[in-house]
Amino acid sequence: MVKIPVVREILEVNDRIAEENRAIFRENGVFVLNLMSSPGAGKTSLLERTIDALHEEIQIGVIEGDIQTSIDAIRISKKGIPAVQINTDDACHLDGNMIRAAFDSLDLKALDLLIIENVGNLVCPAEFDTGENHKVVILSIPEGDDKPAKYPLMFHEASVLLVNKMDLLPYIDCSLDVIKETSMKINPHLEIFEVSCKTQEGLSNWYDWLRQKVHAFKEGESDR
Amino acid sequence: MVKIPVVREILEVNDRIAEENRAIFRENGVFVLNLMSSPGAGKTSLLERTIDALHEEIQIGVIEGDIQTSIDAIRISKKGIPAVQINTDDACHLDGNMIRAAFDSLDLKALDLLIIENVGNLVCPAEFDTGENHKVVILSIPEGDDKPAKYPLMFHEASVLLVNKMDLLPYIDCSLDVIKETSMKINPHLEIFEVSCKTQEGLSNWYDWLRQKVHAFKEGESDR
């Protein structure tokens, strides 16, 4: 086996715009999460469950990022909460500029929590700050336990890891211990919740985390 | 719901290099596939099965693309065939230049078939020609039946769609008919094989396709 590294420079002009977004979110009292995963790991299902569980106590808005289609924003709109669809065409991630264009369509003052559902991609979205308070990554059991090692930036940048589709664990050769050990090695501060959006197993821990974070933010606690 | 399109220009300087690669592959009599999917859909497992089934009749080489780690190239090297690992660092796809640097380490004259395993990403790899004869996409059942609609470029560019992890269909809310109908609407020429790399269900159809293509290429049939 021969090993060939290829080094690429990444433009980080995005950071200034993301910091401006963050200031605007703070002025309006909106706590913001940037939700990321591979395609089909369960981002929209998690949003639907979270809205059902918390919409009576927390005012939630959603920005949906997709390359094409409005499938996800239509799913979220059915829940009766404000949703904006960004279609990136060919772009594989959301950036600060796209989020700015999108939140101009939202009444930020009316929201406690804004959840940005990024494009389904375990690579590029991790590199682009959108102005969120926290990045949240979903890894689903069928993707396999080698994913934190192979896509370390995502797990390094995230504050929370939701291991989803726990109901499929009996049918799949995937070690939860390997996922947890590798992730914690990359990021010792990572909070890990084992969940199934299908059976609702473990979701109350995620709701508790979210509730506590939104309330602390509202009380002026600095949270980046 | 408000809808905001964001248009991005994509550099296509890559195409010239890919055409040069294609000419070199042809001179050396190597049929080349570019294998793509989301993280964890089963690219390396498909490679392992394919090598086991065909290595006695077809000389196979592999280029492994990963952001970090050599996990996949080590798995492939155990099969005793030539494997090159490209580590892209932050880059989310392989391009013509990376492939050129990698195949310099391979004895192309000794190969009939070169399989390029791209970075796990359903978005960006579809945009970058590497010089392959065909693009092959794997979609696994747990990713859900809305993926062709949401990531249409990948399904438009591919010649073959392998629907993998068919053994999980009984446990998952995913319609095979929706996958097939949506994919064929995007790309009516797509060949679709339903497989399970775990149980080996359906893999003989894929082997037959591959065998026939490699032989036709060897006999001088133009195949892009």
A151 to B85: CB separation less than 8 angstroms, yes or no: no
Cβ contact A77–B1 (<8 Å): yes
Give the nearest chain B residue to A69 (CA atoms).
B150
* Residue of chain B whose alpha carbon sits nearest to that of A87: B5
Contacts of B88 in chain A (CB under 8 A): 6, 8
Beta-carbon contacts of A219 under 8 Å, excluding residues fewer than 6 positions away, are none
> A60-66 and A83-87: which strand pairing?
parallel
Instruction: Concatenate the DSSP letters of all residues of chain A into one string.
Output: -EEEE-------THHHHHHHHHHHHHHTT-EEEEEEESTTSSHHHHHHHHHHHHTTTS-EEEEEEESS--HHHHHHHTTTS-EEEEE-TT-SS--HHHHHHHHTTS-GGG-SEEEEE--S-SSGGGG---S-SEEEEEEEGGG-TTHHHHSHHHHHH-SEEEEE-GGGGGGS---HHHHHHHHHHH-TT-EEEE--TTT-TTHHHHHHHHHHHHHHHHTT----
- pLDDT at position B4 is 60
CATH of domain B30-217: 3.40.50.300
Q: What is the pLDDT of residues B39-71, one digit of tens each?
A: 999 999 999 999 999 999 999 999 999 988 888
Q: Indicate if the pLDDT at residue A224 is higher than 80.
A: no
- pLDDT at residue B1, as a whole number: 52
Average pLDDT, integer, range A61-79: 92
Looking at residue A8, its pLDDT comes to: 46
CB contact under 8 A, B68 and A120: no
pLDDT in tens, B137-188: 999 999 999 999 999 999 999 999 999 999 999 999 999 999 999 999 999 9
Asked if residue A138 has pLDDT above 70, the reply is yes
Architecture of domain A16-215: 3-Layer(aba) Sandwich (3.40)
Comparing CB atoms, the residue among B3, B92, B101 nearest residue A92 is B92
Nearest beta carbon to residue B1 from set A83, A140, A149: A83
pLDDT of residue B224: 63
Best of B14, B123, B139 to mutate (most A CBs within 10 Å, chain A) = B123
Closest Cα in chain A, distance from residue B178 (Å): 14
Cβ of B85 within 8 Å of Cβ of A149? The answer is no
Using pLDDT thresholds of 50, 70 and 90, give the confidence band for residue A58. very high
**Residue A22's pLDDT band (boundaries 50, 70, 90)?**
very high
pLDDT (tens digit per residue) in A198-216: 999 999 999 999 999 999 9
Map out the domains of chain B as residue ranges. 30-217
Dump pLDDT digits (tens) for B2-40.
666 554 444 567 888 999 999 999 999 999 999 999 999
Whether residue A40 and residue B2 make contact (CB cut-off 8 A), yes or no, is no
Mean pLDDT across A54-62:
97
Least confident stretch, A11-15, A115-119, B48-52, B91-95: A11-15
pLDDT of residue A10: 42
Cα B23 from Cα B153, distance rounded (Å): 25
Q: Is the pLDDT of residue A4 over 70?
A: no
User: Region B197-222: what's the mean pLDDT?
Assistant: 94
